[in-house]
Amino acid sequence: MLQVTTAADQKADSQPRPVVLRAQGLCKAFEGNVVLDEVAFDLRRGEVVLLEGENGSGKTTLLNILSGFLAPDAGAVEYLVGNAQRFSFGRKGQSAGFSPMSAARGGVGRAWQEVRLFGSLTLRENVAVAVQNQLGERPWSFVDPRTWMRERTIRRAADGWLERLGLAGRALSLANAVSLGQSLRMGRP
């Protein structure tokens, strides 16, 4: 049994907070074994939500769907951050473009159970690579001075994050060379 518990800040919420992610009637079966059956919920801004269930009850399946890694058999996922996107699945579904990329554009970030850092990048680069819409990531963009101006901003922001995590001194260390504790701080900020 899958259960969604919301621990929203309850005090004096006169009007409901805006919904940022909506799941409707999500179904997923693996080779006939039904894992998700009509799962529906709204996630609102500022909420902390606990998803609990036994082993094999479909927690990871649900997370994979919400983060765009897995398409459900039926139902709909609606991302309401920024430009709202709605993906529906099933016979008449409109799921074109549903992917981890679209989920990320819809504001879904994901942390894994184990630490997943880019081992041969430095900690600073690990943070920097997460910055969205980097024009500098085109191969010809090194000729554009804006790329390098943007890089300076990105570097400063990345160092700011590392400082908050207490890793300011390790900005130039490779991710696979830092200690476990340090990588845990990076992986689950």
For another protein, the binding residues (CB under 8 A) are 67, 69, 99-101, 103-105, 109-110, 112, 116-121, 125, 128-130, 132, 134, 136-139, 141-143, 147, 151, 154, 172-174, 176-177
Shortest CB 103 distance to another protein, Å: 8
Residue placing its CB nearer to another protein in the complex, 105 or 185: 105
Shortest CB 140 distance to another protein, Å: 8
Tokens of 59: 């927690």
Residue placing its CB nearer to another protein in the complex, 7 or 172: 172
Q: Determine phi and psi for 84, rounding to 5 degrees.
A: -60, 135
Residue placing its CB nearer to another protein in the complex, 53 or 136: 136
Shortest CB 12 distance to another protein, Å: 35
> What are the C-alpha distances in Å from 189 to residues 33, 56, 63?
35, 27, 18
Give 85's strand partners. 79
Contacts of 182 (CB under 8 A, 6+ apart): 123, 167, 170
Give 24's strand partners. 76
Residue placing its CB nearer to another protein in the complex, 25 or 99: 99
Angle at CA of residue 138, ends 123 and 108, nearest 5°: 55
